[in-house]
Amino acid sequence: MTTKPLGAIEKTNLVLAVAVTALGGLVWGRAGLLAAGVGAALACLNLWAMHRIAARAIARAAAGDTAATAGLLAALGAKMLILFALVWVAIRVYNLALVPFAIGISILPVSLVMAGLWIGSTVGEQGKA
């Protein structure tokens, strides 16, 4: 797998993060700007971590090192627990506005779909994704 599709997903994620943060500021003011920005930042950090951990797991599995692969897969689970904890802290401790925060953190699945559709639509032009 080439890194070109992953780069497209990361760029789409960053563009959506900026757009959602600005939208949060326009619709909900300073509180919305902060909440959407924190949510979008968590989504970008989540994608970055998933990419790095999964790439290492795939490389180790391809090399036949199944013991290290299991550890890296456990790291993906730990990453999710850390993400859940950060979301809890953002909402319960810092009392960020819930709706703009939820919109901000939801950019990850949207960027995956948007980038996937774009990559899929260019397959015919490039011969492969």
The pLDDT tens digits of the residues spanning 55-109 come to 888 888 888 887 777 788 889 899 999 999 999 999 999 999 999 999 999 999 9
Give me the mean pLDDT over the 31-43 stretch. 98
In a domain, residue 29? The reply is: yes
Angle at which helices 66-88 and 4-62 pack, to 10 degrees?
Answer: 130
In a domain, residue 19? The reply is: yes
In a domain, residue 90? The reply is: yes
pLDDT of residue 67: 78
CA–CA separation, 126 and 19 (whole Å): 29
H/E stretch holding 48: helix 4-62
| Domains held by the chain: number | 1
What is the amino acid identity at position 81? L
Instruction: Please state the pTM of the whole predicted model.
Output: 0.86
Task: Supply the range of the domain harboring residue 24.
Answer: 4-120
CA–CA separation, 119 and 34 (whole Å): 32
pLDDT of residue 3: 61
CA–CA separation, 80 and 95 (whole Å): 21
In a domain, residue 129? The reply is: no
In a domain, residue 62? The reply is: yes
43 burial (CB, 10 Å; 0-12 / 13-18 / 19+) is buried
In a domain, residue 128? The reply is: no
In a domain, residue 125? The reply is: no
In a domain, residue 69? The reply is: yes
pLDDT at 1 exceeding the cut of 70: no
